[in-house]
Amino acid sequence: MDELLHWMQYNSLEEALRTRKTMCGTATMNEENIDGTNGCSKVRTGTQNEAALLALMEKTGYNMVQENGQRKFGGPPPGWEGPPPPRGCEVFVGKIPRDMYEDELVPVFERAGKIYEFRLMMEFSGENRGYAFVMYTTKEEAQLAIRILNNYEIRPGKFIGVCVSLDNCRLFIGAIPKEKKKEEILDEMKKVTEGVVDVIVYPSATDKTKNRGFAFVEYESHRAAAMARRKLIPGTFQLWGHTIQVDWADPEKEVDEETMQRVKVLYVRNLMISTTEETIKAEFNKFKPGAVERVKKLRDYAFVHFFNREDAVAAMSIMNGKCIDGASIEVTLAKPVNKENTWKQHLNGQISPNSESLIVFTNKEESHPKTLGKPPALQARLNGQHSPSPPEIERCTYPFFPGTKLTPISMYSLKSNHFNSAVMHLDYYCNKNNWTPPEYYLYSTTSQDGKVLLVYKIVIPAIANGSQSYFMPDKLCTTLEDAKELAAQFTLLHLDREHNLFSLDLCRRIWRK
């Protein structure tokens, strides 16, 4: 049986089938599968599976091999010359029926374009694992696949999820001495790991001569990054006498070119904390007075909104690398998040203080979206994990089998990375510090257009007699949930400054790319 489980490791399915016939016992490929076509429980035998896959190979000319728990169709396709497609050409497919195989899946995904490689994850039993990766020859084809096949009804009542898949080539390195420069970190990482391409280091928000205690290391491939991560196991490896922390960095979000061509907002980073929105607006208006619509500054970065895209692009070229209040700034186009994904932003703890914030921008410094109008804390303590989109749910949940033993526990016995909202984090840290739970007091006002706007005041009795008796953000929200989350994040930021509540691990997840 063990030999039969590896029958697909040959160069082609046809060769594997020939070899199979010479083995003792042909049970594996004669096992029955259920064909759910048209919603009927129709039995499809292993022999029929073989025939269907052979027919697909003969029709397309693609080879098929199985290795490391996945079955690869193509990679490259027949007649392909040159390197593989660039990053961003692959999509992840989730919620695939377990008895569905390439002969049914490939024709569906060919609707979006030419497939370079189709990788179906396989169980030892012969069923698929419910997900696959499809690499197209261009980014445009991958984006089209997401648009037309996400939530596609692959069988009656069975909907698949499709989203972009990125090979992560970047590691987060924490606990780096803050006086180290980019060149020093780059040289050191090249000494201890192979395939280093670049190092990204951000200056401290309060002291531009120092780094923030972490860096992102870019490798030439996902494999090189994985090997480096394995070598730099936390607790066993030191740099400059410091035990470093190592983890995957969140991959940078990809935005399709069509969307980016409409962006007229600039992301400006490396600003001084003391720099005002008025100063930023004045500086960006110098090349063309009146070009800037508004500016929103958050801590040491800002979003600069222009009335038209041409002025935004021109300003980006002129202002990138310029000095404002003594700080050399970096300017790029802000990356918008699709409005259709607004529900994900809310599940992810993102706040919408006003209607403008339905457009959310990401930046290179932080992987998670930033909502316009957020105070500095809004990237805060909830983004260690994210609320998954439908295909990702398939990967981060586990089956609940009958008879599974459950143990009652207190939420306070969990670690902070189990919480996905600022409200939960605030309650957790109050308990951790033996404080009474935070008290929320709701207030409202009415906007000029008649909207009811809400804000919470938070009182923590244990520290109410200290330097600050209550915490209240300077933003109003239109929903109760947003107002409470905003107030909790605002409070967490101030508590972090005064009481140093948050560990390096939390800081890493706040700032990781």
Q: What is the pLDDT of residues 89-114, one digit of tens each?
A: 999 999 999 999 999 999 999 999 99
Range of the domain at 22: 4-165
Looking at the structure, tell me whether residues 149 and 10 fall in a common domain.
Answer: yes
For residue 305, give the CATH number of its domain: 3.30.70.330
| 333 falls within a domain | yes
Cβ-contact 137, 85 below 8 angstroms: yes
**Band (466; pLDDT cuts 50, 70, 90):** low
- Summarize pLDDT for 211-253 with one digit per residue, the tens: 988 999 999 888 899 899 988 876 667 888 888 888 888 766 6
- Summarize pLDDT for 267-315 with one digit per residue, the tens: 999 999 899 999 999 999 998 999 999 999 988 899 999 999 999 999 9
Looking at the structure, tell me whether residues 128 and 220 fall in a common domain.
Answer: no
The model's pTM is 0.48
Looking at the structure, tell me whether residues 496 and 418 fall in a common domain.
Answer: yes
Looking at the structure, tell me whether residues 205 and 354 fall in a common domain.
Answer: no
Q: Is 152 exposed, middle or buried (0-12, 13-18, 19+ CB in 10 A)?
A: middle
**182-196, 257-271, 376-390, range with greatest mean pLDDT:** 182-196
> Which residue is associated with the tokens 């700032």?
511
Q: What is the pLDDT of residue 490?
A: 87
Looking at the structure, tell me whether residues 350 and 412 fall in a common domain.
Answer: no
Calpha distance 73→134 (Å, rounded): 10
Domain end marker among 335, 370, 405: 370
Looking at the structure, tell me whether residues 309 and 199 fall in a common domain.
Answer: no
Q: Which of 198, 195, 166, 172 is nearest to 91 (CA)?
A: 166
| 376 falls within a domain | no
Domain end marker among 219, 248, 277: 248
Element (H, E) at 50: helix 46-60
Calpha distance 432→390 (Å, rounded): 33
- Summarize pLDDT for 319-328 with one digit per residue, the tens: 999 999 988 8
Cβ-contact 277, 346 below 8 angstroms: no
Q: Which of 173, 349, 344 is nearest to 249 (CA)?
A: 173
Name beta bridge partners: 199: 217
- Summarize pLDDT for 57-81 with one digit per residue, the tens: 889 999 999 887 889 999 899 999 9
Q: What is the pLDDT of residue 253?
A: 67
Q: What is the pLDDT of residue 295?
A: 94
Q: Which of 112, 196, 104 is nearest to 154 (CA)?
A: 104
| 450 falls within a domain | yes
Looking at the structure, tell me whether residues 412 and 436 fall in a common domain.
Answer: yes
Cβ partners under 8 Å of residue 447, min gap 6: 453, 476
Q: Which of 258, 259, 420 is nearest to 339 (CA)?
A: 259
Q: Which of 91, 82, 96 is nearest to 140 (CA)?
A: 91
Calpha distance 279→347 (Å, rounded): 35
Beta strands 196-200 and 238-239: pairing type?
unpaired
Q: Which of 381, 487, 477, 480 is nearest to 425 (CA)?
A: 381
Looking at the structure, tell me whether residues 54 and 136 fall in a common domain.
Answer: yes
Cis peptide before 399 (omega within 30 of 0): no
Looking at the structure, tell me whether residues 338 and 264 fall in a common domain.
Answer: yes
Domain end marker among 248, 273, 292: 248
| 425 falls within a domain | yes
Calpha distance 241→176 (Å, rounded): 10
| 91 falls within a domain | yes
Q: Which of 21, 126, 110, 2 is nearest to 71 (CA)?
A: 126
**CA-angle at 299, arms to 295 and 303, nearest 5°:** 25
| 61 falls within a domain | yes
- Summarize pLDDT for 381-421 with one digit per residue, the tens: 333 333 334 444 444 456 666 777 777 877 767 776 677 78
147 or 512, greater pLDDT:
147
**Band (16; pLDDT cuts 50, 70, 90):** very low
| 382 falls within a domain | no
Looking at the structure, tell me whether residues 16 and 139 fall in a common domain.
Answer: yes
Q: Is 308 exposed, middle or buried (0-12, 13-18, 19+ CB in 10 A)?
A: exposed
Cβ partners under 8 Å of residue 57, min gap 6: 12, 13, 14, 63, 64
**CA-angle at 70, arms to 68 and 74, nearest 5°:** 115
Looking at the structure, tell me whether residues 464 and 448 fall in a common domain.
Answer: yes
Q: What is the pLDDT of residue 36?
A: 43
136 or 206, greater pLDDT:
136
Cβ-contact 172, 513 below 8 angstroms: yes
**CA-angle at 383, arms to 380 and 386, nearest 5°:** 160
> How many structural domains compose the chain?
4
Q: What is the pLDDT of residue 12?
A: 40
Counting residues of the chain whose pLDDT is more than 70, the rounded percentage is: 71
Looking at the structure, tell me whether residues 74 and 25 fall in a common domain.
Answer: yes
| 476 falls within a domain | yes
For residue 501, give the CATH number of its domain: 3.30.160.20
